[in-house]
Amino acid sequence: MQRILVDQTDITQTQLQTVPDTPLADGQARMKIRRFALTANNVTYAATGFVIGYWHFFPTGIEGQGIVPVWGFADVVESTSDVLAVGERLYGFWPMADELVITPQDMGGKTVLDASEHRAKLPVVYNRYTRTTEKAPDQEGYQSLLQPLLATSFLLSDWLQDNQFFDAKQVIVGSASSKTGLGLCKFLSELEGSPVKVVGLTSSGNADYVAAQSGADSVVTYGDIEALEKVPSVYVDMSGNAEVKQRLHAHLADELRHSSAVGTSHWDQFKPKQELAGVKPQFFFAPSQIEKRRAEWGPGEIERQITAGWKRLAADASAWLDLKDHNGLEAVAEVYGDLATGKANARDGHVVSL
């Protein structure tokens, strides 16, 4: 098998490694990974690999080298399990590699759990896979790109509503050009009665794109943070940029009702310990909101709403997203490198086919 190793001390550095296949034990299945997306979200997985535990899903056995998780599709090519037969296709959470051995457990319906021992204590939402059938490459590309990102956007919108927007009058979405940021702006702009003003915060180069595609009430560039209206506000931070956060907290001060840390796409400008004016930032963990809603609404309902939400936004994705297909793991280094160093075009959606 081949896999992409990422240097855990410098996540811009990758290498393609070939390792021998391991024989299957009883109850296992070998998955051949066919297609996955690469986004700034994967950079966040790498940047928070130790803090949140993303490095633990697909251990390498090599000190200082990790595998970044990705979302996409894989086929069963070998099986000693009664749960999965050769030829079945799954959508879910995979390593940046061309195969993965899992221990499938049937969860009913179309859901399969990887019950591998090392994943038992990790968030279950990442261990669930969905049986599917092969679709057109562009359909699988859009799903790989948008389902996980827009699911997070939906959950952020739901969480803000669940908390009555922390009594804020405006929600400021940092890195609004990111697909998760754009999705959050879109979901918030749909809310009946416009309960809050939606402000997209972005770079000057992406301002027109965000203004045209996000549905935000206004767009503010990083250079104009001090022009933000001083009213009760929530900041949803997708980038982790320490300077931006410092300036925004200083400007809004006591008007900032909540500061939420979601992503670290600007990981190289992130500071884990930072003295800030006003409220202390709190990390938003999407699986926690899923489990909360599952307990409140019953199994399946939050998943149903997430699916309906991301599909609704994805229906016109071609208007705001350019699908870029790449072939082979050899293509990963350049695409991932551009994402990790902030060189990627906001409109581009990168998909790797194997």
Low-confidence residues in the chain, pLDDT < 50: 265-270
Q: Where are the domains of the chain?
A: 2-134+321-353, 146-288
Residues 153, 160: Cα–Cα separation, whole Å = 11
Say which residues have a Cβ less than 8 Å from residue 238's Cβ, sequence separation at least 6: 173, 174, 175, 176, 178, 180, 181, 262, 263, 265
Per-residue model confidence as pLDDT tens digits over 289-326? 999 999 999 988 999 999 999 999 999 898 899 999 99
| Cα–Cα distance list, 195 to 165, 192, 229, 262, 310 (Å) | 9, 7, 16, 22, 21
Please give the C-alpha separations between residue 207 and each of 155, 175, 241, 346, in angstroms, as whole numbers: 25, 10, 17, 11
**How wide is the angle at C-alpha 270 spanned by C-alphas 269 and 275, nearest 5°?**
115
146-288 CATH, one of 3.40.50.720, 3.90.600.10, 3.40.50.850, 3.30.479.30: 3.40.50.720
Q: Which two tokens stand for residue 111?
A: 């859901």
pLDDT of residue 346: 85
d(CA 346, CA 191): 25
Residue range 156-207, pLDDT digits in tens: 999 999 999 999 999 999 999 999 999 999 999 999 999 999 999 999 999 9
Q: Beta partners for 353?
A: 35, 327
Residue 264's pLDDT is what?
56
Distance from chain centroid for Cα 27: 30
Q: How much is the CA Rg of the chain, to the nearest whole Å? A: 20
| pLDDT at residue 85, as a whole number | 98
Phi, psi of 332, rounded to the nearest 5 degrees: -65, -40
Residue linked to tokens 């019950």: 115
The C-alpha atoms of residue 210 and residue 196 are separated, in whole angstroms, by 18
Neighbours of 71 (CB within 10 A): 24
DSSP code for 20: P
Max distance between CA atoms of the chain, in angstroms, equals 62
What strands, in cross-sheet order, belong to the sheet with 65-66?
14-18, 2-7, 65-66
Question: Token digits for 95?
Answer: 């390593």
Architecture of domain 2-134+321-353: Alpha-Beta Complex (3.90)
Amino acid at 65: Q
Per-residue pLDDT at 343? 87
Asked if residue 130 lies in contact with residue 84, where contact means CB atoms within 8 angstroms, the answer is no
Rounded Cα distance, 215 and 170, in Å: 14
